[in-house]
Chains A and B, each alone.
Chain A
Amino acid sequence: MPKNTKIKSILIIGSGPIIIGQACEFDYSGSQAIRSLKEEGIEVTLINSNPATIMTDPSLADNVYLKPLTTKSIIEILQMHPNIDAVLPTMGGQTALNLCIEADDKGIWEDFNVELIGVDIDAINITEDREQFRKLMIEIGIGQAPSTTATSFLKGKEIAQEYGFPLVIRPSFTLGGYGASIVYDKKDFDELLSRGLEASPIHEVIIDKALLGWKEYELELLRDSNDNVVIVCTIENMDPMGIHTGDSITVAPAMTLSDTTFQKMRDMAIHMMRSIGDFAGGCNVQFAVSPDEKEDIIAIEINPRVSRSSALASKATGYPIAKIAAKLAIGYHLDELNNQITKTTSALFEPTLDYVIVKIPRWNFDKFEGADRTLGLQMKSVGEVMGIGRCFQEALHKATQSLEIKRNGLGADGKGEKDYDTIIQKLKFASWDRVFVIYDAIQMGIPLSRIHEITKIDMWYLKQYEELLALEVEISTNKLETLSYELLLEAKQKGFADRQIAHMLSCLESDVKAKRTALDINRVYKLVDTCAAEFNAQTPYYYSTFENKMITPDGVSRADNESVVTEKKKIVVLGSGPNRIGQGIEFDYCCVHGVLAAKEAGYETIMINCNPETVSTDFDTADKLYFEPVFWEHIYDIIEHEKPEGVIVQLGGQTALKLAEKLSKWGVKIIGTSFEALDLAEDRKRFSELLVDLDIPFPKYGTATSADEAAAIADNLDFPILVRPSYVLGGQGMKIVINKEELEKHVVDLLRKIPNNMLLLDHYLDGAIEAEADAICDGEDVYIIGIMEHIEPCGVHSGDSNATLPPFNLGEFVMQQIKDHTKKIALALETKGLINIQFAVKDDIVYIIEANPRASRTVPFIAKAYQEPYVNYATKVMLGENKVKDFNFNPKLEGYAIKQPVFSFNKFPNVDKKLGPEMKSTGESILFIDSLKDDQFYELYSRRKMYLSK
């Protein structure tokens, strides 16, 4: 066995806080790598400053260091663990690689006799330095776009003169296309060139002739130390060159690629990987293909590490790239490893799909007022969803239904654009809604040829859209009663939601559901098995579809369903959908722990989620994974099929919580805190009445549904007033207003964006200190797991504030009030599970801002800081398996843990960076300090008021 037996202890570097371009996919890859190495009996040490991750759980690695990702931390760790033989830096994105290079430059690895595995520093340098990369590609005969390197402004101008416009500026050594741009017009060139040069740490940009409209592909490769290479997945970008692949709608397998061209590309990818250096592990290669008859192929870039796309590729194919890459890094050859899905066949093979996946990014432009919303070379999305279907149309529909942007799919929801000029503009300048606008354009009668001319999207995709529309039109000529079996089945096969069909037929969603039940048009579940059913696979990774029937020799007619329901008692955990600001990786952390706890309690666990970047959608997290939209219809069908004991909604953030009412209405048991209690906490009026009963103070407030009402309330409340819509997360639409004029403007704006919403107006406690408490309650006892104090004063969203655990300057009297209020409220709401309460402290009085009887963003942080499995305990309490008093709580923390928000403002050059009640941070990190005398705390504290907008 060529496994390198000399390696007994490995250091893994994580990717740190979530930022745009580097999201929770690296939690997925890191935790897979840790498990994969542990399986081999290797001691694993991890460094990562992001506490909201599964990978930093004490149950995974042997030693976890929640430390800043600096060479200083690396040295500390290596001093404490002199037995570390090797470092694996390819699982933590560009951040980990950069840290690894820095440590290498400083000679740290050499000093501690640590071997680098899974990577070749020269390979990284070549691939990151665009000039070196270009030279190498030319040397090995791989096509390149005409391009030249500029290290100065003048040189850049010279190149532009030569190439003409449009052209592309790409800075060297940056992440997620940071600082890159397409320049269409000479007048924009100077500014964009400066930005590019500034973005590059070595002040270098490459200027390419723009290959706009070329088709874009990504290949995910794995190589072992015996130089065996396999292509795990080929991903085609529906959006051609010009939009960053992280911001593109992508499809697998490739839809419009012939074998001849694909094999050329495959040969080139392998050749490139071999040419850049000698390393065993994952690699991602991007190509552009000319859309003409020549089908010229040009290499765009190569990343010698596990990437965002490899996470997607793993979920798209079932082939766990990070897990295998970790094994390859310690010397295994591909042919010595098993296909992890079939367990009987070889890992040296290339997965084949009998379904289609579509990934759609999730943007959060609403959080970045003033941001340029046009998509381009710099990635701007904050998360993504993946839809799996038996055809492209179904996958596309499922992906759009997963986005949680109040759309039911393509068309047929009355929300389409109807203005010609707007549509043309939106086609020209792609943004978050282009996937929908294409449908609207076809519906309006804009010829496909024109849409193609503007967007350069391959005609095959546009024809698929056109087919969907033709089907919608055909269905719309029917009534519910006249709709045939064939037509309804076809609509479902193409992914139209019951709600959309109801819209077409002018009936209720439940009518459509009843009709398809009567006609026996039911969802069936198929396996993601890497091999198109060629081999038997037991891996419980399912997606739904609708199939035509088969009739067995004894005359039984049925659609083939591969998800066999067991006799065991089951629990469904609803996932949190796409990452976005305010609802990120923390909730995936909670879901994963919920699943594991329910397993421990003897339940068969069923996970439903649609976010390919997560650990929750790993096929070995839950007993059964349904990779499905967290969308009513899909969830209810799974529940009907599986008949679980109940559904856990309090771990998946607002996404899951929002479904509680409907679940409850349809008689599905909500595990833990009841829907009524969840609703009571959200209903400001009833909740305030409860607080009055409990004798707990809260800021004066009012509710309004119009600007008039708001104005009337303002007379009773003193300004400043905090205005926000109800039922939102992350402070969406929240604003502090200081006079009637501002109030009216904001109210009108909110009601336009979210019609029929109830608005909450609170008297804003100016100068107050904010604190929050998280607790577990079983209905009888309450245990407060942690109290955190915000360093910034009231007014900055809790997700954006620095905060300490435990509080750094709250007196005994205040702390007692916080504890008492928390306990009283938790009990009054009959909480079973987790609850988070936010407080404002002014003049030693503790006011309640809000209570959320669910897992909050801070739960993973507190669990990490105290080294206690709180989500596990809470889940067992929810399930009724345990009472609070059953647990022996033993929080371990010396000094303080500081939660520090991390922002991605650099992706939006023109955005207002001021902080306020609306959350804007994309991630967080943890910092442990021994005492308040620590310099870093002092610095945070001294500049605490700088970020305030008011």
Chain B
Amino acid sequence: MKYSKRKKAILLLADGTIFEGKSIGTDGTAFGEICYNTGMTGYQEVFTDPSYFGQLMLTTNAHIGNYGINNDEMESDSIKISGLVCKNFSFNYSRENAQDSLENFFEKENLLAISDIDTRAVVSYIRDKGAMNAVISTNTDIEALKEELKSIPEMNGLELASKVSTKEPYFFGEEDAPIKISALDIGIKKNILRNLAKRGCYIKVFPYNSSFEELEAFNPDGYFLSNGPGDPNPLKEAQEVANEIIKRDLPLFGICLGHQVIALANGISTFKMHNGHRGINHPVKNMLTGKGEVTSQNHGFVVNKEDVEKHPDFEITHIHLNDDTLAGMQMKNKNCFSVQYHPEASPGPHDSSYLFDQFIANIQKVKK
């Protein structure tokens, strides 16, 4: 092995702060809102999670890429983040079960990644200043980058579900499975489908702008609203779908963005958090059982807890133990519940997979 010298690269934040690093290979420039994920495993799942669409991902784990890429560990068909910022990038990987290196994967998917950044300094900085847009580049013309960065839209109010949703409906699972589900794809992760299929569901996945009637036409036993990127507010069609399902008291389960859509459909507000939750170590308490669970989370927006408390038809089922934000809710007289976090994990702990069982039980309750 010969020593290889790498090119300079930078991370430039919207407020003008620059962090110096190195390019991992390809040259280029990438924009997005910078966010950080604190997971120590599961980078491939994170990079391919549609909820991260349009974001510059900073991974806090010291090394990224150690175990390469495995085709079974994709959460969608491609990389969804807009760029990667990391501390140490592994050009060499080691896993019998891997098909390729992360470096090659990025090259194929045309993703810009930079390393050797003081990622910890970046996290402390945006922890205090709040989430902001940023650019990573191998180009060192700072003024030009600054100009370009100004034209990148703010995440607040941004509709992104349309960018990641399926264009055409598709099916997942065994056709003869006992339960049929209509799932609205506003950025769905594959492991949600795997979890449902594993529990005897045959799922039809619909594009983000489908109507309730289209979902209903599948004659499903239950409805699912998926996770996804961006602000839930502009997703009026999805909110309408949620409304129709709830009106008819049909079994409904929402995760993450889907959970926020259910809230908005009922007049409960959402807001953008200072920094959001992104990692696989988030503590949540189930208020119904009193048990704790360690959860996988990825959200920059959150449902307003006070609104839920005031709403006569809703009750809080889960609370985030670190900051007391809302993590889950259910409707008192309807067959509807939702969580802000990711029971499908991938990456992350399986502590919350019981929520899928609960969904199935909710369906069985009313299934003829």
Residues of A within 8 A of B (CB): 226-228, 230-231, 234, 253-260, 262-263, 266-267, 291-293, 295, 333-335, 344-346, 348-356, 390-392, 458-460, 463, 466-467, 469-471, 473-474, 486, 493, 526, 531-536, 547-553, 559-560, 562
Contact = CB atoms under 8 A, between A and B. Distances in A.
B60 A354 contact: yes
A226 B290 contact: yes
Given A259-B42, A532-B120, A353 B281 contact: no
B88 to A, nearest CB: 5
A676 B58 CA distance: 53
9 contacts: A254-B41, A258-B73, A258-B97, A335-B283, A390-B62, A532-B120, A536-B127, A548-B20, A550-B20
Contact of B322 (A257, A346, A351, A551): A346
Contacts of B321: 335, 345-346, 348-349
Interface stretch (B150-158, B182-190, B298-306, B345-353): B345-353
B197 interface: no
Contacts of B18: 550-551
A353 B61 contact: yes
Contact of B40 (A253, A349, A463, A559): A253
A474 B38 CA distance: 34
Contact of A291 (B70, B96, B345): B96
Nearest to B46: A259
A470 B1 contact: yes
A860 to B, nearest CB: 38
A548 B38 CA distance: 20
Contacts of B118: 547-550, 559-560
B16 interface: yes
Contacts of B336: none
A846 B96 CA distance: 70
Contact of B283 (A349, A466, A548): A349
B17 A354 contact: no
A271 B161 CA distance: 38
Contacts of B40: 234, 253-254, 352-353
Interface in B117-134: 117-125, 127
Q: Most A CB atoms within 10 A — which of B5, B42, B93, B321?
A: B321
Contacts of A291: 96
A796 to B, nearest CB: 48
Contact of B97 (A254, A295, A460, A486): A295
A534 B279 contact: yes
Contact of B20 (A253, A458, A526, A549): A549
Contacts of B96: 291-293, 295
A349 B281 contact: yes
B94 interface: yes
B347 A259 contact: yes
B62 A391 contact: yes
B334 interface: no
A553 B127 contact: no
Given A356-B62, A535-B322, 7 more contacts: A258-B70, A258-B97, A292-B96, A346-B321, A349-B282, A355-B62, A532-B60
Contacts of B16: 553
Nearest to A227: B291
A231 B21 CA distance: 33
Contacts of B127: 533-536
A602 to B, nearest CB: 31
Interface in B6-24: 15-21
Given A226-B291, A354-B120, A560-B118, A391 B63 contact: yes
B285 interface: yes
A552 B17 contact: yes
Nearest to B12: A551
B66 A255 contact: yes
Given A230-B294, A353-B40, A533 B120 contact: yes
A534 B122 CA distance: 10
B94 A460 contact: yes
Nearest to A224: B292
A553 B347 CA distance: 36
A337 B269 CA distance: 31
Ranked 7 nearest A-B pairs via Cβ: A259-B42, A560-B121, A553-B16, A346-B321, A474-B3, A460-B94, A532-B60
A472 B282 CA distance: 41
B87 interface: yes
Contacts of B282: 349
Contacts of A350: 280-281, 294, 349
B158 to A, nearest CB: 24
A260 B194 CA distance: 14
B92 interface: yes
